[in-house]
Every structure is written in C-alpha cells, then in structure tokens.
Chain A
Amino acid sequence: MLNKKKSFIDKIPNWGWLCISLATAILLWYFLSVNERTARVFPFIDKMVVAFKTVTEREILWADIKSSMISVLLGFLFGFLSSVPVAFLMAWYRPVRYILEPWIQFIRNIPPLAYVPLVVIAVGVGRVPQVIVIWIATFLTMTITIYQGVRNVDETLIKAARVLGAKDSDLFIKVIFPATTPFILTAVRLGSSVALTTLIAAESTGAFAGLGMRIRSFNNSYEVEPMLLYIILIGIIGITIEKIIKFLEKKLTGWQETREV
C-alpha cells in the first residue's frame, strides 16, 4: 500500500508536480472568482490581463517597479555593508557582543511598520525614509546571521592554518572569510526577503511611486484588479530573487556538507 503510493509520487517528475500545483492554484482561483462572496477580491486571469494593460498604459507599472527596486537595493546594500563589520566585531570582541546583541534581538522583533512613522517624522517623506527602514530591517537580520556564521568557524581550521604558517591577515582571507561565505550567502537571502517584505511598510507613508504605495492607492480608489496584479508581481519578484541567490549559493558553496538553513 505504502509502496504503491510512493511509486506513484516518484513517477511524476518535479516539473510535472509544478504544473499540477499551478493547475490546482488556477482552479482554486477560478472557483474563488466565481464564488459570490470572494468574486470581488479574486478577479480571474482575464481581468489580470486587462489590468496589466491599464497599468502599462497609465505608465505607472515600470515606474513603480523601478522605484521599489531602487529602495530595496539601496536599503539592502547599506544593510549588508554595515552588517558585515558589525557581525565580525560582535564575534570577535565580547564587550561589543554583550552590548549590541540584546538590542539587535529586541528591535528585530518589532515589525518595521510600527516605526515607519517615527522615521518619516525624523527625515521627512520620499526615498530616504524607505531606504532607512529597509536598511534597519536588513541590517538586523543579516548581522545576526553572519555573526552566528563567524562564531561557527571551526577552531581547528584556524589552528591548522596557523601551524601551516598563516599570519593573522592570512587567517582572515584564507580561512575565516571562506568558512563564513555560506552564512553570508544565507544572510543575503534572508536579507533580501526581509527587504521586500519591509518595502510595503516602508512605502506606507509619503511615497511618490512604488509597488507598496500603489497598492494602497488602488485600495483608496477601489481598483481591485490592478491591486491583485501588483500583489502577484511582488510574489514573482520575491521568488525570482530567492532563486537567483540559491543558485549562487549552490555555485559558491557546493563544497559544503549538506546543510539546510
């Protein structure tokens, strides 16, 4: 019985399952779109095509994607560049760790949406508060991940390098950096995901364009079709970024014993 089931599951290739999954979702979507109670918020694919035409004609789609991606990229970049040195300092100097870690954990547990207004009051509206909010959120996540990676570097690898003649600078470049690479890449993946989720919060106040801002404005004008389109778009962008980073992880850290994070 169990064997029979297993062979049926394994017979279908991965892409086959992907198609089945997609078909199931579309079917479900269809039912939601015809069901009276849910029809309003789940317009079907044909409506999505119309919505796509509308937003491209209004020349807002590409502007929104561009604006959001600039914010995400800048925020993520600042987050990454600041998290690497802080993570290393925390791993190497205990006072730094003892002072910073509780606060990083504390702030990390506050949803960014909660402090967006504070940032806007502090720096005004526009691009700057968006970048700052994404920066904060990605910085916190990536610092913790990279810090754990640096602390995880196998002590015997450092000893082995030292007895082979490694100086402190060699240790950093030839041992600690490569040993930490998997964690840095994991941090990049988690960070980019946080950047995207935070984006919607970041654009909630006084943005002039952007996917998150536009969803709110569609909400105000009761335009459900383009709203759903934008929501799906955010999902597609998110999964694309994740796939790219996962591909890089495989390429760069294929030497690893299997490890799931």
Chain B
Amino acid sequence: MERNVKVKIDHVEKIYDGRQGKMIALNGVDLDIYENEFICVVGPSGCGKSTLLNIIAGLLEPTSGAVYVDGKKVEGTGTERGVVFQQYALFPWLTVKKNVMFGLKLKGMPEAEAEEIAMKYIKMVQLEDFVDAYPKELSGGMKQRVAIARAYAVQPEVLLMDEPFGALDAQTRTQLQAELIQTWQEEKKTCFFITHDVEEAIILGTKVIVMSARPGRIKTIIDINLPYPRTQDLKMTKEFLDLKAQIWGEVYQEYLEVRK
C-alpha cells in the first residue's frame, strides 16, 4: 500500500534561551508521519513533547530544521492543523455552540452554515443538551469534548493533542478515549497525541513514539498492530501486556536518566 507522508519533521532542533542559559529542548528530531496515522508520543516530562507539538502547530519556531505538511514548509499556524490543549482553552465568554463556531466564523462562513456544522460536531461529542451553556457550567470531560468538537469543526487534516485527557479522572478518560477512537475511525485524520499514560498510548495509537530526555530526541518507534475498534477489554490480552511492558521499560529508563 502506497502511503503519503503527511507531516515530515526534518531535523528539528529547539534551543531555549532562558534565564538559566541555553537549554536544548529538542536535539535533531526526524520523523515521518503518514496520512491517517495515529501517533502517540510518550516520554518523561520535560523531554520536549510539547515543544515538538507547538513547532508542528506553528506556534513555535524551530531553532533549526523544519516541519513540512504535504511537502509545504510550516510557517506559523494554519487551519489544516488543529490543536487540542490539556487546559481545554475554551473561550469562557462564549457558549458551547459559539466556541465550536469560532474557527468557522474566522473563515468568514455565514452564521447559519457555521451553526449547522457546529451542531454536527456538538452532536458527535454528545453535548447537544449543552449548546447554550457556558464553559464554567461544564465538567472537565465536557469541556474537553467541546475543545475536540471545536478542533474538528474547522476540519483540519492533522490533529495535534497535548495530553488532552491528562487532567481528567480515570473513568472519564476511558470514555473519551473510546469516543476519540470512534471519531478517528469515522473521520480519518492524521493524529499526533501526547500522553504520559502508556496504556492510553497503546489503546489509541497506530504507533507509539518514546522520546528520550536531555536532550529531547526520538528514542524508539513501536508499531501497534492491535485491531480496531479497540476496547478496554484489550488491556487484558497478552499482546497488550507485552507492549505495555516493552514501552514502559523504555520510558522508565528515561525517567531514571532524568533523575540522575
């Protein structure tokens, strides 16, 4: 099967010039992300995961190297790349519907059409009873659903997610994982998903990438060949447990490195 490289990360290096002097956050990261892949990135905190995501999003500039989407060099943000943040980042002064419509209105889409599309994605995340609620009236899980709907509404080709479920309780997280798998199967997108939860990475990803710390680079790429649709039952299978042991081992080594 011929597969297109959707996102090409070409020798990306990022050096922060902070108060404690220069700090190499990413040290030559190379990665090809194929169309419709679901990449999960794990690694100890501070290894540069968010930095890499922000560079792909165009929110940060690499010190050297470049990112290409469909062969075109990334310069600044673009609506073909959507982002879901851990802190939800909903506009608190807008209702659920207006939040989801935000990106569509920026495109200059007429109100009625934007509303129709927004409603479609609000239904997708099952929040049709909360269209006129303000973010403060929603639970964490609901807020993140709105953020996902808002990202989907502008129909990006690449979806970047930075520990989106990191602040949620275990039960809500499990549910949102299932929903995310389902939406990804319905509307195939190229996903780049950061997590610190190894199980989450295996349940979601077609590939898991382990990053090493200080300086941040890609350590191992592991293909996850478990069949979709993936359910929580999978967590009891031997294949899953083997993968978990393998990935956990890789990550744990890096934790030890960091603690040194």
Contacts and interface: CB of A to CB of B under 8 A. Distances in A.
B77 A165 contact: yes
Interface in B58-86: 58-59, 77-79, 81-83, 85
Listed residue (A154, A159, A160, A256) with the most chain B CB atoms within 10 angstroms of its CB = A160
A156 B154 contact: no
A256 B92 contact: yes
A165 B107 contact: yes
Contacts of A253: 93
B91 interface: yes
A257 to B, nearest CB: 5
Contacts of A160: 83, 85, 89-91
A159 B59 contact: yes
**Interface of A (DSSP majority class):** helix
What band does the interface of chain B fall in when counting residues whose beta carbon is under 8 Å from A?
Answer: 20 to 34
B81 A257 contact: no
A178 interface: yes
**Interface of B (DSSP majority class):** loop
Interface string A175-198: 100110100000000000000000
A163 B134 contact: no
Interface string A145-168: 000000000101101111111100
Contacts of B87: 154, 156
A164 B136 contact: no
Interface string A241-261: 000000000000111110000
A164 B92 contact: no
A2 B137 CA distance: 33
Interface string B30-64: 00000000000000000000000000011100000
Interface of A: 154, 156-157, 159-166, 170, 174-175, 178-179, 181, 253-257
Given A161-B91, A164-B103, A164-B150, 4 more contacts: A159-B57, A161-B102, A163-B57, A165-B78
17 contacts: A154-B87, A160-B83, A161-B102, A162-B77, A163-B57, A163-B82, A164-B79, A164-B106, A165-B79, A165-B106, A166-B106, A170-B106, A175-B91, A178-B93, A179-B93, A181-B93, A256-B136
